[in-house]
Amino acid sequence: MQIDLHFGMTWVVARAAGFSPKDAKVIAHASQYVDDATNQGTIKFSNGATYKRITTAHKMLDYRNLQSLKNQQVWIPFHFLPGNDGLPAGSNPSGSFIRKLVCKPNSYVAKDMVDECIANRHRPYALHLLGITSHVFIDTYGHQGFAGVQHQINNVDNIRDHNGQLDSNWMQRVSDYFMDVMQDEIPSLGHGQALSNPDLPHQHWSYMNGLGERIERNNPKDFLEAANELCKVYQTYLQHTPVGLSSHIKTLIAQCFSEFDMDGGELRLKLWLEAIARDRFGLGAYQLAYIAKGLGSWKHQALGTVLSDGDEDDYLFSQAFLSSDWKLFHDAAKQHRFNVVDIILPRYGICVS
């Protein structure tokens, strides 16, 4: 999924579940920031203090770099949560090991991830962790059928729309994106070969995967289910009865999927933010905005830098840094990665590096 859902829709769902506008904004910002925390390395302060952050995503150019594709500790815990073929811990799917790694909507692995998140509700970074968990949780719907490793199962061919019409320009767009490499050299990680088709909330489509299976996808249906199940996650977190979204809110979200039918996520986000500001969802009018990098961003607020990439030689340390949203996000990201990689996946016989 893209920024319109990870930020805009996530805020709506969090508010509908009972979070305050301010807390919903932290959750939604952290959810989207998973896609934008692309820098790595240690932050150095002029007083000798240091802080080591982690990367939760790769830049678009890095995505075309085969070296970055090998980083399973980014792709698997933050974007392509293994689904164990929908089976509980201790059960193994038939076939090869790759079946364990393929994303499945609302899998037992995803439920365990939510449980670990809720178990950390007392942490200073609890809302940031919930935002990261939200990102990964709804991506189990958008990324279903794909795995966060290079494997032929991620190969995509014969993409068709909901009318069965072949997308004749698909291969050219894939080739252009991956810098004109040959078809047999296109990276087969995640949904790269499917381009943005798995992320578009208005898209009905189908494709042939690398195992020769015809996969049918109805994004509006799947994404509405993702929103409803995410609401239940939030209600459970708040210790409310997990009943999901009201029929009214579900109808409004479905209308947004249908109406906001452009392919650009930023364009769709603008419409979501306008709808929120007009109180279209009946949750209270709110001026919501997201700044990924530079002036006004979480990193700028924490460190005083407006650099989008890289770092200053050193930063002036202040006590406020310790409670900044930027640091709390990275604290939460470390906790999330530990939860998934070291606690949950071994229960399912999955080890990643």
User: Does any domain span residue 336?
Assistant: yes
| pLDDT tens track for 81-119 | 999 999 999 999 988 899 999 999 999 999 999 999 999
Segment 296-312 mean pLDDT: 91
DSSP state, residue 147: B
User: Does any domain span residue 170?
Assistant: yes
- The total of structural domains in the chain comes to 1
CA 249 to CA 16: how far, in whole Å?
8
User: Does any domain span residue 353?
Assistant: no
The reported pLDDT for the residue numbered 61 is 44
- pLDDT band for position 187 (50/70/90)? low
User: Does any domain span residue 291?
Assistant: yes
| pLDDT tens track for 218-255 | 999 999 999 999 999 999 999 999 999 999 999 999 99
Q: Is the pTM of this model over 0.85?
A: yes
CA 242 to CA 229: how far, in whole Å?
9
| pLDDT tens track for 138-158 | 999 999 999 988 888 888 888
**Helical segments of the chain, H only:** 3, 10-17, 21-33, 60-63, 72-78, 98-101, 108-119, 126-142, 170-177, 219-237, 247-259, 265-277, 298-303, 325-337
The reported pLDDT for the residue numbered 265 is 93
User: Does any domain span residue 295?
Assistant: yes
DSSP-derived secondary structure for 160-203: EETT--B-TTHHHHHHHHTTT--GGGS--BTTGGGTTGGG-TT-
**Residue of higher predicted confidence among 175 and 148:** 148
Neighbours of 282 (CB within 10 A): 12
Segment 122-134 mean pLDDT: 98
- pLDDT band for position 173 (50/70/90)? low
On whether the CB atoms of residues 31 and 151 are closer than 8 A, the answer is no
In the chain, the percentage of residues whose pLDDT exceeds 90 is: 72
| pLDDT tens track for 24-68 | 999 999 999 999 999 888 999 999 999 999 999 876 544 444 555
Q: Can you give the residue range of the structural domain that contains 20?
A: 3-348
| pLDDT tens track for 336-352 | 999 999 999 999 999 98
The reported pLDDT for the residue numbered 172 is 59
Residue 167, Cβ density class (10 Å: 0-12 exposed, 13-18 middle, ≥19 buried): middle
Q: Is the pLDDT of residue 334 over 50?
A: yes
Q: Residue 204's beta-bridge partner residues?
A: 218
User: Does any domain span residue 201?
Assistant: yes
